[in-house]
């Protein structure tokens, strides 16, 4: 007989406003222009979404020389460097920019700081497309750090103009530790008016914290290359609850749930609700589980589409 379990569903979870906007940009471009539509980098970090778009004629590329002259090109939600923008202009692509407005805010801040003579420290993960795009807004004067020990390696003068910015999808707690170390070493460092952790990242982490006392295990719906999804998994694990990151129902393993009564389910900001539903169904196919939605923040933020796609939408 299947053992009954309770599935607690985090709130909020899944798509944020920036991701919804990026996906809608691709959808509307497909409607208006038809396939193929080219997207520089994965539009969002979710294998489920990327596979669906590929089946409908969207081509994901990393190098612009793979795109025919004059084609429709979309920049992903993570943003791109100025060099990529210049190259797109030179190749005469029709470009729609799906950069998350919160990432674009950090881009603008980096440019402003450089113009005012600051050396800029970026807190983020090396190789992540958002970090590459943000650092690529300026030709120099920006320096990446990933961990607290990296602060010790910085050699700026005490009286140098310094400022920091952050990748939007980092762990709130991790970022606070790094910024505290920066401020201790450089008390005069310029901080953003508001920490650049996006609202959705913070809300989803807070929802996991609220769910933890009620569950024995956490399933995070999201892909391995999704920074904010991995932070949710790491957060649950740091709170002494086993956590697993999945982006396909076939990845669910029965041994995870032995001696487990209460299961927590959340989803990263790039994971669609339809995939979360499939994951829950996969769990319920093994157990007679009841689903209990957790109380939490209802997000109402939305971002507008680029002007060239508004009419189609």
- Spell out the domain ranges in the chain: 6-15+199-293, 17-99, 102-185
Residue 260 contacts residue 6 (beta carbons within 8 Å)? no
Does pLDDT of 263 surpass 90?
Answer: yes
Provide the pLDDT for residue 195: 63
Structure tokens belonging to residue 21: 């906007």
- Average pLDDT score over residue span 163-186: 90
The per-residue pLDDT for range 64-75, each reduced to its tens digit, is 998 999 999 999
Catalytic residue of the set 28, 109, 130, 132: 130
Structure tokens belonging to residue 38: 């080219």
DSSP 82: H
Percent of the chain with pLDDT over 90: 84
DSSP 62: S
Does pLDDT of 51 surpass 50?
Answer: yes
259: left (phi over 0), alpha (psi -120 to 50) or beta: left
- Average pLDDT score over residue span 19-41: 96
Mean of the per-residue pLDDT values of the chain: 93
> Catalytic: 130?
yes
DSSP 272-299: -HHHHHHHHHHHHTTS--EEEEPP-PPP
- pTM: predicted TM-score of the whole model, two decimal places: 0.92
pLDDT band, very low/low/confident/very high, at 3 (cuts 50, 70, 90)? low
Provide CATH code, domain 17-99: 3.40.50.11270
Does pLDDT of 201 surpass 70?
Answer: yes
Provide the pLDDT for residue 1: 43
- Going by their DSSP bridges, the two strands 72-75 and 37-40 should be labelled as parallel
Does pLDDT of 2 surpass 90?
Answer: no
Q: How far apart are the first and last CA of the chain?
A: 50
Provide the pLDDT for residue 311: 60
Residue 9 contacts residue 293 (beta carbons within 8 Å)? yes
The per-residue pLDDT for range 286-295, each reduced to its tens digit, is 887 799 999 9
Structure tokens belonging to residue 118: 């600051």
Domains 6-15+199-293 and 102-185 fall in the same CATH topology = yes
Provide the pLDDT for residue 170: 83
Provide CATH code, domain 6-15+199-293: 3.40.1010.20
Residue 205 contacts residue 13 (beta carbons within 8 Å)? no
Does pLDDT of 102 surpass 70?
Answer: yes
Residue 280 and residue 14: Cα distance in Å, rounded? 14
Residue 107 and residue 138: Cα distance in Å, rounded? 9
Q: How far is CA 226 from CA 20, 45, 52, 165, 209, in A?
A: 15, 5, 17, 20, 19
Residue 218 and residue 4: Cα distance in Å, rounded? 17
Provide CATH code, domain 102-185: 3.40.1010.20
The per-residue pLDDT for range 212-251, each reduced to its tens digit, is 999 999 999 999 999 899 999 999 999 999 999 999 999 9
Tell me the three state secondary structure of residue 142: strand
Does pLDDT of 101 surpass 90?
Answer: yes
């Amino acid at each position: 007989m299947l053992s009954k379990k309770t599935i607690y569903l985090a709130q909020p979870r899944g798509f944020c406003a920036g991701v919804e906007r990026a996906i809608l940009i691709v959808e509307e471009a497909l409607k208006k222009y038809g396939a193929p539509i080219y997207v520089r980098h994965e539009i969002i970090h979710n294998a489920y979404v990327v596979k669906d778009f590929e089946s409908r004629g969207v081509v994901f590329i990393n190098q612009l020389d793979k795109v025919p002259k004059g084609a429709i090109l979309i920049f992903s939600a993570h943003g791109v460097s100025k060099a990529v923008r210049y190259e797109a202009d030179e190749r005469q692509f029709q470009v729609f920019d799906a950069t998350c407005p919160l990432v674009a805010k950090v881009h603008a801040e980096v440019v402003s700081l450089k113009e005012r003579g600051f050396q800029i420290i970026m807190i983020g993960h090396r190789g992540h497309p958002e970090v590459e795009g943000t650092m690529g807004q300026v030709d120099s004067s920006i320096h990446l750090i990933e961990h607290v020990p990296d602060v010790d390696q910085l050699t700026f003068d005490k009286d140098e103009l310094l400022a920091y910015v952050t990748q939007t999808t980092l762990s709130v707690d991790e970022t606070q530790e790094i910024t505290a170390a920066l401020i201790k070493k450089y008390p005069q460092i310029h901080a953003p008016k508001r920490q650049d952790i996006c609202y959705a990242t913070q809300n989803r982490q807070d929802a996991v914290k609220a769910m933890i006392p009620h569950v024995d295990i956490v399933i995070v719906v999201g892909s391995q290359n999704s920074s904010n999804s991995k932070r949710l998994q790491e957060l649950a694990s740091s709170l002494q609850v086993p956590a697993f990151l999945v982006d396909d129902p076939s990845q669910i393993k029965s041994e995870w749930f032995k001696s487990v009564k209460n299961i927590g389910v959340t989803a990263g900001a790039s994971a669609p609700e339809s995939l979360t539903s499939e994951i829950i169904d996969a769990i319920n196919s093994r157990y007679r589980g009841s689903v209990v939605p957790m109380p939490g923040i209802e997000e109402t933020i939305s971002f507008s589409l680029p002007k060239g796609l508004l009419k189609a939408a």
